Copies of this chain bind each other. A is one copy, B any other.
Amino acid sequence: MEIFPPFMTRLLIVEKDPECSFDLESRNVERSLRRDASENRVRILESARSLFAERGLGVTLDDIAHNANLGVGTVYRRFPNKDLLVQALFEEAVLELIEVGRHALEFEDAWEGFLFLLKTMLDMETKDRGLREVILGNDYIEGRITELKKEVGPLIEEIVRRAQDQGGLRGDFHANDVPVIAAMAGAAQEYSKSVSPNLWKRYVAIVLDGLRVDRPSLTPMSEEALDQDQLIHAMINWKARK
């Protein structure tokens, strides 16, 4: 009687071994899974991406399964725990963040570089609550993402130093202020997103005016403040929670 080991072995490598997973192309993954399984894996990732972005890492694998019109068993078979799913989804985003930092260093005008960094970073982190939690927090990301995150700090330090040396950025600013500012922008976003999804930019403009040395003039704010009605709805929709 014949046995069919190729299936088993390849599957095990692709699914379980954290060392190798990064070297594998998605094509390999698709080949080693049955067609339906491979398609469903993609649907899981898409479902997770959108739910994480909208509601943060707190969403359950059950939520993700239902959102993808799949049974929970299917999701748990593919991603035995949330860490693996988070890693699969956010590694790329963190890499992109590093790229953003590198690019910010290439600006001739260091203040412009700093601006680029902050705005791009905050844009990514306000649009995607999951990413924000990955960057600012410590849950579900043991392993590779934690390592990648360590590369971001020194880049920001360098960007900040350049901007200060050239006299654009106030001297008492510190690279470690960046994550706190990201947390603040995130809070503005969470508070107002139901009525004005880009309102956070208004407050970033204010903060940037507070960071600029000898600013020539006030930055015009692109977003209008909330009106009375919007504020009331923001209050109602806002959930504080733990």
Contacts and interface: CB of A to CB of B under 8 A. Distances in A.
Interface in A187-242: 187-188, 190-192, 199, 202-203, 205-211, 213, 218, 220-221, 225-228, 230-231, 235-236, 238-242
Contacts of A56: 240-242
Contact of A207 (B139, B207, B231): B207
A181 B210 CA distance: 14
A225 B154 CA distance: 16
A139 B218 contact: no
A137 B192 CA distance: 12
A42 interface: no
Nearest to A232: B138
Given A188-B183, A213-B218, A176 B225 contact: yes
Contact of A199 (B180, B188, B240, B241): B180
Given A137-B239, A187-B187, A170 B218 contact: yes
A148 to B, nearest CB: 14
Contacts of A239: 137, 242
A226 B138 contact: no
Contacts of A231: 176, 179
Contacts of A57: 240
Interface of A: 55-58, 132-133, 136-139, 153, 170, 172-174, 176-177, 179-181, 183-188, 190-192, 199, 202-203, 205-211, 213, 218, 220-221, 225-228, 230-231, 235-236, 238-242
18 contacts: A57-B240, A136-B238, A137-B240, A138-B235, A138-B236, A139-B240, A172-B221, A174-B226, A176-B228, A180-B226, A183-B188, A183-B191, A184-B185, A207-B207, A209-B211, A210-B211, A213-B218, A242-B242
